[in-house]
């Protein structure tokens, strides 16, 4: 696989995957890059270029088999396997993610939650048991956990990330409103407000242009 | 303002805003593009180029006043005003967003929620009253609502978006796991799983390279 795939291309892959799953669901068997570009609002040559980063998936002028392409991209995204995940911090966002059924569909299994709040510890949420934060280290030693989802307040996030890194999880999906930095494991920092502020930018621009 | 600001630049603005707020909070008064680039993990010339899209905010070789720059970007993002918002669909994600305190800090006020589930209607969540879905149209007529947050299941999202568009909200922040399309109002489709799949891509790549 080409190691120099740009971040922009990588970030478009989940979007291709979503659209292909939807096309497959509604029974579309074959699609051209032009048709795919129209339904996704992307440029057809960009789609072909993106796919070429991975050796291309179709023949010129022939188009793509939707199911084959979906499976290829699924494998590239590492989604042809099961991930065991834990949630750290079971507040608003943690609880929402614990109950988010779509993750299970995509092969993610949340097996435990951890929180410093002793009134939560011992309870279950959507069949996920909540353990005290102090048990996390031992839990990670005894269980092969691939993924940790940080949903703690800002102040705790970096320390939790450091502990996860030492314990050897493979990846951190961070929802705390601060970027966490750790060496040696993969991290995705999610900032919900970034997309909200992109929206307000567009709203302000539309308002100034008077187009709406 | 330059109308041709690219989507990539627009999407970096909220990130600049976050870092500048943090720098201001810890008492940093002035920063060079080089220093900013180091703490953000971006290229200094990219930062200067991005800022130049908006006329630039500093003098060559002098750096930026953090507070001034933060205020400029805040205004560009349309965050120097208050937004009244409603949530449609008060399930897992809807409830999490209703309780997300950071939004209030940034000028977003959630004033009502709507749901089809009659057992929820009449209750409040974090002081936000839940109304029946059938009341939404009238509510929007009687109240000046800027922003609607769609947290419905996939199947309902497009119809809700169409109703919001007719009712004249300015923007839609959509968390349903399907892109909604409406003419005439600004939309941001949020797909939480996109960042999760970017993470699994990186985890798979790291695993194959054996770097971790």
Q: A80 touching B, CB under 8 A?
A: no
User: In A122-165, at which residue ranges do the beta strands (DSSP E only) sit?
Assistant: 124-125, 128-132, 147-150
- Both structure tokens of B98: 């209703």
What is the chain A residue with the closest CA to B91? A96
- Both structure tokens of A163: 């502990």
Q: Is B78 left (phi over 0), alpha (psi -120 to 50) or beta?
A: left
Summarised one tens digit per residue, pLDDT across range A113-141 is: 999 999 999 999 989 999 999 999 999 99
Overall average pLDDT of the A172-195 stretch: 93
pLDDT at B60 over 80: no
Mutate to test the interface with A, among B204, B209, B211 (most CBs of A within 10 A): B204
Mutate to test the interface with A, among B23, B150, B174, B196 (most CBs of A within 10 A): B196
Beta-bridged to residue A12, according to DSSP, are none
Q: Quote the percentage of chain B above a pLDDT of 90.
A: 71
- What mean pLDDT, rounded, does chain B reach? 91
Closest CA relative to residue B76, chosen from A196, A191, A202: A202
Summarised one tens digit per residue, pLDDT across range B113-141 is: 999 999 999 999 989 999 999 999 999 99
Closest CA relative to residue B162, chosen from B181, B149, B148, B146: B181
* In chain A, residues 172-191 whose CB comes closer than 8 Å to chain B: 172-173, 177-178, 184-188, 190-191
Are A128 and A146 contacting, i.e. CB atoms less than 8 angstroms apart? Answer: no
Question: Where does residue B54 rank: exposed (0-12), middle (13-18), buried (19+ CB within 10 A)?
Answer: middle
The label of the residue with tokens 């909540």 reads A130
Overall average pLDDT of the A89-96 stretch: 93
CB nearest B199 (choices: A15, A188, A198): A188
- What mean pLDDT, rounded, does chain A reach? 91
The ipTM of this complex is 0.92
B90 CB contacts (<8 Å, ≥6 apart)?
A: B98, B113, B114, B115, B117, B120, B125, B130, B151
Summarised one tens digit per residue, pLDDT across range B153-165 is: 999 999 999 999 9
Mutate to test the interface with A, among B18, B178, B201, B208 (most CBs of A within 10 A): B201
CB nearest B199 (choices: A171, A192, A194): A171
- Both structure tokens of A100: 């988010």
Summarised one tens digit per residue, pLDDT across range A1-20 is: 445 788 889 999 999 999 99
Summarised one tens digit per residue, pLDDT across range B17-33 is: 999 999 999 999 999 98
- Cβ neighbour number for residue A212 with a 10 Å cutoff: 13
Are B203 and A170 contacting, i.e. CB atoms less than 8 angstroms apart? Answer: yes
Residues in chain B closer than 8 A to A196 (CB atoms): 14, 103, 106, 108, 173, 188
Beta-bridged to residue A30, according to DSSP, are A65
pLDDT at B2 over 70: no
Q: B44 touching A, CB under 8 A?
A: no
Separation between Cα atoms, residue B17 and residue B77, nearest integer Å: 9
Beta-bridged to residue B110, according to DSSP, are B85
Q: State the first-to-last Cα distance of chain B, in angstroms, to the nearest integer.
A: 45
């Amino acid at each position: 696989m080409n190691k120099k795939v740009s971040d922009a291309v990588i970030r478009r892959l989940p979007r291709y995957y979503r659209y292909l799953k939807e096309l497959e669901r509604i029974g579309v068997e074959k699609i051209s890059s032009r048709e795919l570009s129209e339904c996704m609002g992307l440029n057809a040559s960009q789609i072909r270029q993106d796919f070429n980063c991975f050796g291309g998936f179709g023949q010129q002028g022939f188009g793509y088999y939707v199911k084959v392409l979906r499976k290829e991209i699924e494998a590239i995204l590492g989604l042809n396997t099961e991930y065991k995940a834990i949630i750290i911090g079971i507040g608003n966002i943690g609880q929402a993610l614990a109950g988010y059924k779509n993750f299970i569909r995509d092969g993610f299994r949340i097996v435990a939650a951890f929180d410093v709040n002793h009134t939560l510890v011992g309870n279950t949420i959507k069949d996920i048991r909540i353990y005290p934060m102090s048990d996390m280290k031992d839990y990670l030693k005894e269980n092969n956990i691939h993924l940790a989802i940080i949903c703690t307040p800002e102040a705790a996030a970096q320390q939790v990330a450091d502990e996860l890194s030492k314990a050897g999880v493979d990846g951190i999906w961070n929802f705390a409103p601060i970027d966490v930095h750790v060496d040696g494991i993969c991290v995705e920092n999610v900032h919900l407000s970034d997309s909200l502020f992109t929206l307000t930018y567009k709203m302000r621009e539309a308002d100034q242009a008077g187009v709406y």
